[in-house]
Structure 1
């Protein structure tokens, strides 16, 4: 009876460890989709001509670079560069019971680099007069 229970527990644990690579890829994608303040969607949806600098800062956070222009206004530059490396893998499974783990691996990995530059120009009264952005992904 004891051996049968041990075999059932071991088999259940081994089957639970058999995760296909497609599930690992989905888990990796979900881990990389964390919310971030500085995205193209946020810029398109939230930034408008006429906003104050404090309104922009509450939406996007602090800029990376601030410069003054000759007309008394400022230019704020947000520059985001990210490299994401993710790996998900498992080994073992049913083959581990019978073949000591030989050939029982499933894995997925992904590397993505993205850049986003947002340029916001303010007039002399401190309100957004113009803004632009550029995004790349590779």
Structure 2
């Protein structure tokens, strides 16, 4: 008997017992015959893809890991849905917090007359240009008088 088949069979039997299923119950859940399931658990028969999928679903493990003689439990859909809801609530809270922070910053800027960096730089440029124009006024071209 191949070692992999034996390990897979042992895993199936262990998981079945952990779930509290009789071999007859698991055979019914997987649409397998009692004889077929016994051979799979004994490691003398490889389950087909459909049986492997049904076994992994009934035992709440991943089919690939089961086939390799390993046990990797899957989260139930309700656990995943709850996790997604919690994540969404967290993100919505974060979005709300970010809006409140932005509003608070804006309020502080107005209250303390704090200018944004870009606005401040633009204002400084404008002031510099005005100073230069006062020191070095633009030469206005003189209108030339008509020559006679």
TM-score normalized by the length of structure 1: 0.26
Q: Which has the larger radius of gyration?
A: 2
Higher strand share: 1
Higher helix share: 2
TM-score normalized by the length of structure 2: 0.25
Higher RCO structure, 1 or 2 (CA under 8 Å, sep 6+): 1
